[in-house]
Amino acid sequence: MVAASGLRSTPRPKTVIFSNSKGGVGKSTLALLMSLGLATRHQDASVKLIDLDPQATSSESLKRFCDRRFSVVNDSGLNLDDGAPNNEKIIQLIDAERNNKFKKRFVVVDSPAGTQPHRSAFLFQCDIMLIPTSVSDADIFATKKYLAGLHALFSQHEYRHTFAPPALIVLPNLVDSRDEFNELRHALAREQVYLGKPLYYSPAFRRAFREQRNDENIRIIFNQAQPYTLWLTSLLTQSHRLEKRPKKLFQL
C-alpha cells in the first residue's frame, strides 16, 4: 500500500505535519495558523486538516470554517488502541486527496503529544515536518530527543530508497525576546535541521481556540501574525527549496 502510493501520476498533495513529543509547544496553534493561512492565501486550493489528537483541539476549532475547499478530519480510527498512529489509515487519507479536483491541494496534519517516531511511518508522506518548541529546558531536551528519533526513522533502510524524507524545521514558539531566541539557537547548534523564525509570546494566542460567533479572536490573531503566517505558508509552498538535511543547524 505504501509503495503503491508513489506510482500514480497525480502528485501527492503538499503535506505538512506538526509534531513534537512534547505537549503545549504550539502544534495545534500553528496548525490552525497554517490551515487558515493556506486557505486564505490560495483561493484555488483545497485544504484538509487531519487532526490526530483525540483531544481534537485544532479540528474542533476549525470545523466551523468547513466548506467545499476546507475540510477537517478527526476520528478515533486515526489512532490504534494503544494510542499509536494508524499509519495505513493516515496514508490513505493523505493519498485520497489526489482525487479531488482543485488545482492545488494542501494537507495539514496536527499530532498529539507523546508520539514516537519509530511507530509513525506516515511521517514519510509529508514534504515538511514542523516541530514547535518553547525555549524552556524541558522542551528543548524533549525536542532534541524527538529529533534523534526522527533521524533514526528517516535513515531506516526499508523506506530510504522509496521515499525522500521530509525537511525538518524547528519552530521556536512562545519566545519572549531575541536573547531567548539566541539561547535556543545555541542549544540546538549541533542539530541537522532548519531553524524557523521565532513566534513571540502573545496573549491573543491564548484565545485561538475559543469559539465566537463573529470570529473576532481569529481575526485579531491573523492581523497580528500576518507576516509570520505568510512566512509559514511559504515554507510549504516553497518546500522544494529546502535541501532535505542541512549539515548543521540552518537558520531560515
Interface residue list for Mg ion (CB under 5 A)? 27-28, 57
Which residues, 65 to 104, sit near ligand ADP by CB under 6 A? none
Contact letters for ligand ADP, residues 30-59 (x by CB under 6 A): ---------------------------x--
Q: State yes or no: residue 29 binds ligand ADP (CB under 6 A).
A: yes
Q: Residue 117 or 165: which CB sits closer to Mg ion? A: 117
CB 105 within 8 A of CB 15: no
Q: Residue 57 or 87: which CB sits closer to Mg ion? A: 57
* Least gap, CB of 250 to ligand ADP (angstroms): 23
CA distance 252 to 153: 24
Q: State yes or no: residue 206 binds ligand ADP (CB under 6 A).
A: yes
CA distance 62 to 208: 10
The secondary structure of the chain, three-state, reads CCCHHHCCCCCCCEEEEECCCCCCCCHHHHHHHHHHHHHHHCCCEEEEEEECCCCCHHHHHHHHHCCCCEEEECCHHHECCCCCECHHHHHHHHHHHHHCCCCEEEEEEECCCCCCHHHCHHHHHCCEEEEEECCCHHHHHHHHHHHHHHHHHHCCHHHHCCCCCCEEEEEECCECCHHHHHHHHHHCCCCCCEECCCCECCHHHHHCCCCCCCCHHHHHHHHHCHHHHHHHHHHHHCHHHCCCCCCCCEEC
Q: Residue 93 or 199: which CB sits closer to ligand ADP? A: 199
* Least gap, CB of 27 to Mg ion (angstroms): 5
* Least gap, CB of 172 to ligand ADP (angstroms): 10
Nearest Cα to Cα of residue 72 among 61, 83, 82, 80: 61
Indicate the residue type of 80.
Answer: L
* Least gap, CB of 138 to ligand ADP (angstroms): 13
* Residue among 199, 221, 235, 242 that touches ligand ADP (CB under 6 A): 199
Cell of residue 222, nine digits: 491573523
Q: Residue 29 or 95: which CB sits closer to Mg ion? A: 29
Q: Residue 37 or 112: which CB sits closer to Mg ion? A: 112
Which residues, 147 to 176, sit near ligand ADP by CB under 6 A? 173-174
Binder of residue 122, out of ligand ADP, Mg ion, none (CB less than 5 to 8 A by kind): none
* Least gap, CB of 175 to Mg ion (angstroms): 18
Interface region with ligand ADP, contact rule CB under 6 A, candidates 67-75, 142-150, 161-169, 203-211: 203-211
Binder of residue 149, out of Mg ion, ligand ADP, none (CB less than 5 to 8 A by kind): none
Q: State yes or no: residue 13 binds ligand ADP (CB under 6 A).
A: no
